Structure 1
């Protein structure tokens, strides 16, 4: 199954080069402590890692020349705190346990954690191709903006480290194309105004609702998730090893499928053997999804085989086989011997091929792929499928593979419901793998773009979203961390009012989070796309988020960061008067206001006329003589024109609670 916005660029799972250096140096660091990183200015930063047990460890900070010392414990774990100065750099951090490890080109500045679903994940290039993307990429030369891309991952238990793509990188035309456009434009505006280093930790996943991003402790405070969260929290506290439970149950489940699979006989993978005759099998191009190559709408088990040739120089040597990602699960065989298996579309497939299996000349790869719904097959780009010896690519695996159906989804259907799963939709799963590793890494604040994944549960989203904000602040041990978020943009057919629309209720739930301190909302109903859930104008989204931060976090004097907000209403005869708060410089006065609807006690809404009376608005309709309620912008893609003088849209609102 593939979530919208899931694929943005080919991931690498080889350990970042710094970690390889660290292994040689004995000291190891979390994957996000690398060259080029940004540390939050003027704060206490916890540095930690592992070394040999009971080893003296020192850290020298290049900005002040101070030396900090500690000793690793019996497990080899160590940590110490250092103080960061005002924004500046570059500096070096030198670690030593007798052998030095040096991190270079470190900047001190402002670090922001950027998260959400596909509209946060949407890259400048790739599947995103934002507005004017080619020119934006060419101009993206900001070495003081640093980028950290967190790899997709899920887990039952909170993790202490995360998968990272490439380590911290300077923002350049070569590093920015696959990065979050919203986060980049947010940082660019901050840099233009503040002229200090900006670090972006980007951790998002397309198609995800909010609940996977909340910890079990946070979910306990939301009614619909309390029982589940209490159970999972008990497991993750060590009462049970949830990962072991999952693996045991999954293996048992797969064993039950074997009798239904034509490629298996008496528990043996007969279609994986080198002497099996596959001349009658059809061919398919890999990578690619099988729905577009002859298996439209197919769910179930499909086997793939490919004969490759290994140069004689590599006979008997251990190789690395890479397949990028597979949708959903797979088992892989090399010359008839199983060398690994992976569950879940989110995971990178890299397998060690033992030297004793590697022959000179002809060798056979067989893959058993299971898809339980949605698209099935191979993701990634051709360059991500290969066999390597060290860093040397010796065999390209993209191209024509033979395939045959092992078992149809209809035959497997009775087993699907019992399949043990952890997915990007599992409550707590993304927090555990993609957020928790960073809670000891000081940041300035959060930006968030999500909500589409909860469109059918807006009633729940009010509590869930606020639980997420409070949860993250608690985990970072700072209840005043700024949290700026994007309200859902316009999408679907434009209309004045739609009583069946779902997104206005989500927007309302998002706006309710403004009751929490140090929050801000970027309204984007004017820059959406009724035909595309991923609007291309991410420049303005990032700018509006940055305006909030500049005003409320960095105390820049501006009235342009937000628009007036609905406050109260009063029925006056056959009209309703609407009052607003946080007026700033007021409204852009349009001669004809659009987007208002009015209803009587029968709850039937009609398009309404509206006009300004100072900074208040009078709403009425000839069809409603005894009005009871007004709604504004109440559609998925509303036709409305109420703006501030600076051109920011006013959020949709309603006076009723029907």
Structure 2
């Protein structure tokens, strides 16, 4: 064997030995951690990755189980269910000589809290946050926040951390989640674990798997829409390479004005036009314009170092003083940056300065964008200043046709709005960690597609339930709160239609609850600060429908039936408790009525019995339908029951 071949053989053998001796590290999803809460009275699923073929041993509460990692290194065991434990257990996971130890583990109730910004809204931003945070010490409540992440394929790992509830940890946690968990803790007197996974501004399809959406023709259409968006993104990416970007902007034609002496102090600009700065250039053109002004310095500023302030100049500038360049900005972000250029004391010896600014507008608007207060000369040592706002001379060096500008970047494959992207990254890695149920506050980002949401939300709920394999676990839906200004005229409403889709889901999907918040909103803020009542109402629903306290009235009045009786529509309700009433003691408000499904009128209404009421309009003799609280922000939706839980918006024309 030649010397070269011998060397190659030794290197190959050494490499093979190195690969064979490399041991895969024991990996566990971050949902397993010290301080976590395990769901009581349910089998406990534990999983992870290890060296393929290795023996994995899990010990928890004097229970031990072994398993083998498969060829891909994956393993999973199911431990017997545990009852409530408040003392703090230890779980040990061993794979060969590698060990993971988790301590201070409680056993109680675990809930998943998900949705968009109103679920993400922090305790620190809720009503009475200072008092709430100060009173948040409760070691029996544990908080787990899943960090924002996006993936186009289902992931196994998640970035999350479990923390003990305290004034230090609660401020950044979900307010709705915390107030819900606190209510359960007070009522059940067991440990409560809250797993929070939400992302503001995201639609429900982002939280639903591709497989579930593809199996339904209505939600499949969402995927097809996104296929078209991704095709646009691919085209955008190809056409927006650095070598092709120039075609979207005008290019600087060269500094002809400087060659003509526009920057010089002795240039005669008397024929130039006057302009008051700050001001933008003519919006019909891009191009190059020059601005000039002569400034007489106060005696105390002469011979001193001065700072020239201009505020933002859109897009690029070259600035001269007495013919010399003192500064320039021409990078892509220059249009939004304030200018500050230094004038050395050698430039300010005379009492007169000629300022000349060459502005190049590449596309869109251009010129001096700032406020008058941002334009001044200031002495560096004394702070004395001279205003530069007001009348300047200006002249176009070259006008250009408007450039199209860089096309808006389409949403891409890693966008958090894309179907399944958040499910893949933030929900899939949690499965099959034991939970009692889920609470969901979302819908604002689907408001314009309410009819689609009637299918999408049930698809998402059933998708989660199927994948968790814990049966039809409880699912609490927070209905959208009132928002926007009160409508002066009755009519249709996208927010009302989305609320209706949520209501329909709660009536057709088993073991779901609707938490009405039509009285808790803020006309001027899509994020109402009263998250305490949202959490409490979720808790009341859970205590009644999940934890068996059936005597609790957990929802507002629900329409049972209606009939048209001449010029009246008579309605009968369930869930009234001791009887229908209004929150404020006044006549029922927020009712509309129609006789042709085209024109709606504000209706009169009155309670006629324990669970009945009638609606009418004096000028209609043959009404065919009525609606309650059918608006983005209905005017005085005051119908309630003896538990003072408001009725959901509803309509008789479609049930």
- The normalised TM-score by structure 1 is 0.68
Counterparts in 2 of 1:302 and 1:258: CA distance versus 1, 3 Å: farther
Flag the structure with larger Rg: 2
> Once the 2 structures are TM-superposed, how far is the Cα of residue 77 of structure 1 from its aligned partner?
2.7
> Once the 2 structures are TM-superposed, how far is the Cα of residue 201 of structure 1 from its aligned partner?
0.8
Corresponding position of 1:193: 187
**What SS class does the counterpart of residue 494 from structure 1 fall into?**
coil
2:123 maps to 1:137: no
Corresponding position of 2:567: 574
1:636-655 matches, cutoff 5 A: 636-638=632-634, 639-655=636-652
Alpha-carbon distance between aligned partners in 1 of 2:245 and 2:618, rounded to the nearest angstrom? 71
1:108-257 matches, cutoff 5 A: 108-125=107-124, 129-164=125-160, 167-226=161-220, 229=223, 255=241
Alpha-carbon distance between aligned partners in 2 of 1:227 and 1:640, rounded to the nearest angstrom? 36
Corresponding position of 1:513: 505
Counterparts in 2 of 1:497 and 1:554: CA distance versus 1, 3 Å: farther
Aligned CA RMSD, in angstroms, stands at 3.2
> Once the 2 structures are TM-superposed, how far is the Cα of residue 303 of structure 1 from its aligned partner?
6.2
2:493 maps to 1:501: yes
Alpha-carbon distance between aligned partners in 2 of 1:208 and 1:297, rounded to the nearest angstrom? 34
Alpha-carbon distance between aligned partners in 1 of 2:48 and 2:232, rounded to the nearest angstrom? 28
Residues 38 and 434 in structure 2, CA contact (< 8 A), matched pair in contact too: yes
Residues 576 and 642 in structure 2, CA contact (< 8 A), matched pair in contact too: no
> Once the 2 structures are TM-superposed, how far is the Cα of residue 411 of structure 1 from its aligned partner?
5.6
Residues 599 and 605 in structure 1, CA contact (< 8 A), matched pair in contact too: yes
Corresponding position of 1:273: none
Counterparts in 2 of 1:295 and 1:172: CA distance versus 1, 3 Å: farther
Match of 1:84 among 81, 84, 102: 81
Corresponding position of 2:620: 624
Alpha-carbon distance between aligned partners in 2 of 1:178 and 1:461, rounded to the nearest angstrom? 30
Corresponding position of 1:94: 92
Residues 497 and 634 in structure 1, CA contact (< 8 A), matched pair in contact too: no
Alpha-carbon distance between aligned partners in 1 of 2:451 and 2:233, rounded to the nearest angstrom? 35
Moved more, 498-507 or 24-33: 24-33
Counterparts in 2 of 1:261 and 1:146: CA distance versus 1, 3 Å: farther
Corresponding position of 1:445: 437
> Once the 2 structures are TM-superposed, how far is the Cα of residue 162 of structure 1 from its aligned partner?
1.4
Residues 501 and 635 in structure 1, CA contact (< 8 A), matched pair in contact too: yes
2:594 maps to 1:608: no
**What SS class does the counterpart of residue 613 from structure 2 fall into?**
strand
> Once the 2 structures are TM-superposed, how far is the Cα of residue 472 of structure 1 from its aligned partner?
0.9
Corresponding position of 1:560: 553
1:403-442 matches, cutoff 5 A: 413-414=406-407, 416=409, 420-442=412-434
> Once the 2 structures are TM-superposed, how far is the Cα of residue 410 of structure 1 from its aligned partner?
6.3
1:292-331 matches, cutoff 5 A: 294=312
In the TM superposition, what whole-angstrom CA distance separates every residue of 1:269-315 from its partner, at most 9, and x where no partner exists?
A: xxxxxxxxxxxxxxxxxxxxxxxx949999xx97689xxxxxxxxxx
**What SS class does the counterpart of residue 525 from structure 1 fall into?**
coil
1:335-346 matches, cutoff 5 A: none
Corresponding position of 2:527: 534
In the TM superposition, what whole-angstrom CA distance separates every residue of 1:362-415 from its partner, at most 9, and x where no partner exists?
A: xxxxxxxxxxxxxxxxxxxxxxxxxxxxxxxxxxxxxxxxxxxxxxx9665348
Residues 563 and 584 in structure 1, CA contact (< 8 A), matched pair in contact too: no
Counterparts in 2 of 1:49 and 1:248: CA distance versus 1, 3 Å: farther
Counterparts in 2 of 1:415 and 1:122: CA distance versus 1, 3 Å: closer
Counterparts in 2 of 1:537 and 1:42: CA distance versus 1, 3 Å: same
Counterparts in 2 of 1:503 and 1:302: CA distance versus 1, 3 Å: farther
Corresponding position of 1:478: 470
Residues 486 and 632 in structure 2, CA contact (< 8 A), matched pair in contact too: yes
Corresponding position of 2:322: none
Alpha-carbon distance between aligned partners in 2 of 1:296 and 1:438, rounded to the nearest angstrom? 48
Alpha-carbon distance between aligned partners in 1 of 2:564 and 2:459, rounded to the nearest angstrom? 35
2:631 maps to 1:635: yes
Corresponding position of 1:549: 542
Residues 628 and 650 in structure 2, CA contact (< 8 A), matched pair in contact too: yes
In the TM superposition, what whole-angstrom CA distance separates every residue of 1:509-535 from its partner, at most 9, and x where no partner exists?
A: 100012111110110011111111100
Alpha-carbon distance between aligned partners in 2 of 1:574 and 1:104, rounded to the nearest angstrom? 69
2:246 maps to 1:260: yes
Residues 216 and 428 in structure 1, CA contact (< 8 A), matched pair in contact too: yes
1:345-424 matches, cutoff 5 A: 413-414=406-407, 416=409, 420-424=412-416
Corresponding position of 1:237: none
Residues 260 and 411 in structure 1, CA contact (< 8 A), matched pair in contact too: no
> Once the 2 structures are TM-superposed, how far is the Cα of residue 217 of structure 1 from its aligned partner?
1.9
Counterparts in 2 of 1:602 and 1:445: CA distance versus 1, 3 Å: closer
> Once the 2 structures are TM-superposed, how far is the Cα of residue 71 of structure 1 from its aligned partner?
2.3
Match of 1:465 among 441, 457, 460: 457
> Once the 2 structures are TM-superposed, how far is the Cα of residue 261 of structure 1 from its aligned partner?
10
> Once the 2 structures are TM-superposed, how far is the Cα of residue 602 of structure 1 from its aligned partner?
6.0
Residues 117 and 201 in structure 2, CA contact (< 8 A), matched pair in contact too: yes
> Once the 2 structures are TM-superposed, how far is the Cα of residue 597 of structure 1 from its aligned partner?
1.5
**What SS class does the counterpart of residue 639 from structure 2 fall into?**
coil
Counterparts in 2 of 1:550 and 1:24: CA distance versus 1, 3 Å: farther
Counterparts in 2 of 1:161 and 1:230: CA distance versus 1, 3 Å: farther
Alpha-carbon distance between aligned partners in 2 of 1:500 and 1:175, rounded to the nearest angstrom? 43
Alpha-carbon distance between aligned partners in 2 of 1:297 and 1:79, rounded to the nearest angstrom? 59
Corresponding position of 1:487: 479
In the TM superposition, what whole-angstrom CA distance separates every residue of 1:424-448 from its partner, at most 9, and x where no partner exists?
A: 1111111111111112111110100
> Once the 2 structures are TM-superposed, how far is the Cα of residue 608 of structure 1 from its aligned partner?
1.4
Alpha-carbon distance between aligned partners in 2 of 1:554 and 1:629, rounded to the nearest angstrom? 38
> Once the 2 structures are TM-superposed, how far is the Cα of residue 227 of structure 1 from its aligned partner?
5.7
Corresponding position of 2:305: none
Counterparts in 2 of 1:221 and 1:56: CA distance versus 1, 3 Å: closer
> Once the 2 structures are TM-superposed, how far is the Cα of residue 588 of structure 1 from its aligned partner?
2.2
Counterparts in 2 of 1:42 and 1:493: CA distance versus 1, 3 Å: same
Counterparts in 2 of 1:496 and 1:445: CA distance versus 1, 3 Å: farther
Residues 487 and 507 in structure 1, CA contact (< 8 A), matched pair in contact too: yes
> Once the 2 structures are TM-superposed, how far is the Cα of residue 603 of structure 1 from its aligned partner?
2.9
Corresponding position of 2:54: 55
Corresponding position of 1:330: none
Alpha-carbon distance between aligned partners in 1 of 2:539 and 2:617, rounded to the nearest angstrom? 39
In the TM superposition, what whole-angstrom CA distance separates every residue of 1:8-31 from its partner, at most 9, and x where no partner exists?
A: xxxxxxxxxxxxxxx999422112
> Once the 2 structures are TM-superposed, how far is the Cα of residue 53 of structure 1 from its aligned partner?
3.1
Alpha-carbon distance between aligned partners in 1 of 2:625 and 2:225, rounded to the nearest angstrom? 44
Alpha-carbon distance between aligned partners in 2 of 1:302 and 1:175, rounded to the nearest angstrom? 42
Alpha-carbon distance between aligned partners in 1 of 2:244 and 2:155, rounded to the nearest angstrom? 33
> Once the 2 structures are TM-superposed, how far is the Cα of residue 591 of structure 1 from its aligned partner?
4.6
Q: Which runs of 5+ in 1 are unaligned?
A: 1-22, 234-242, 264-292, 306-408
